[in-house]
Structure 1
Amino acid sequence: MRIGELARRTGVSERGLRYYEEQGLLRPERLPSGYRVYTELDVAAVRRIRLLLAAGLSTAQIAEALPCMVDEDELLQPTCSELVDALAAHRDRIEEAIGELAATRDNLNTLIARARPAG
């Protein structure tokens, strides 16, 4: 299939698919004409990429993670213990950022409450 069909089937723009290729996340076959040719495996790869992006991983992290990921009944599962450790560390950084944002929100709420007259 060509890039337009892959875009339609995955919901990722052609520009996004080219970006995934630039980042080494997709490796389509190239015809002599320069056209990209994708397979059903690429449809699944784009689904995995989107799930990992939604989990907050960068494309560089995804490039490292993809070889250690398998699909189990439509669920993405890491197979390398070092990847699980890296994902846990990433989750911990997110939890820390959430805590910092909550503290910032609380400070703002205090400032707003002090600025508004009671009543």
Structure 2
Amino acid sequence: MNIGELARRAGCSARSIRHYEKTGLLTSNRRANGYREFDAQSVPRVMQVAHLIQRGFSLVDITTFPSCMLRDVTDVVCPQALALHRKRLAEFDRQLLELTARRDRLARALGANARSEPPTR
């Protein structure tokens, strides 16, 4: 199938597919006219990569994953991947704490500033 058909079947953009191919997560063959040609296995592969991106992993992360993580589109996580998911969750928790602390500091600064400003008419 061509890149447009793959994009329609996988529910993503042709641009994303080109990017996945550039990073080595997807392969294609070139037709005589230079167009990319993808096999049927490319559909679940693209969907799985998109699924992992939605879970917060980068393409760089995904290229290092064990092959079991890129088999099928599923909610079941292979045993080798659990540590990676837990690590990402811990990173999100750390980022949330950091952002909450920043938000609180900004809110306090705005509150203090609002009290020190003269009223507007």
TM-score class, shorter: 0.7 to 0.9
The match for 1:56 is 56
Distance 1:28 1:55 in 2: 26
2:119: which partner in 1? none
CA distance in structure 2 between the partners assigned to 1:85 and 1:111 by the alignment: 39
Corresponding position of 2:87: 89
Shift of 1:86: 2.1
Q: Deviations over 1:11-56 (max 9, x none)?
A: 3222221110010111123323322112332111111111111111
Partner AA of 2:113 in structure 1: A
Structure 1 residues 28 and 66, CA, compared in 2 at 3 Å: closer, same or farther? farther
Per the alignment, in what secondary structure is the counterpart of residue 26 of structure 2?
Answer: coil
Q: Which has the larger radius of gyration?
A: 2
Q: Matched residues in 2 for 1:37 and 1:107: separation? A: 53
1:104 maps to a residue whose letter is R
Partner of 2:22: 22
* RMSD of aligned Cα (Å): 2.0
Paired residues of 1:9 and 1:43 also in contact (CA < 8 A): yes
Q: Provide runs of 4+ in structure 1 moved above 4 Å.
A: none
Taking structure 2 as the reference length, the TM-score comes to 0.81
Runs of 5+ in structure 1 lacking a partner? Answer: none
Match runs of 1:1-119 below 5 Å: 1-65=1-65, 67-69=67-69, 70-71=71-72, 75-81=74-80, 83-117=81-115
Deviation at 1:116, TM superposition (A): 1.6
Residues paired across the two proteins, number: 115
- SS of the residue 2:76 aligns to: strand
Relative contact order, CA 8 A, sep 6+: which one is greater?
2
Runs (5+) with no aligned partner, structure 2: 117-121
Identity %: 31
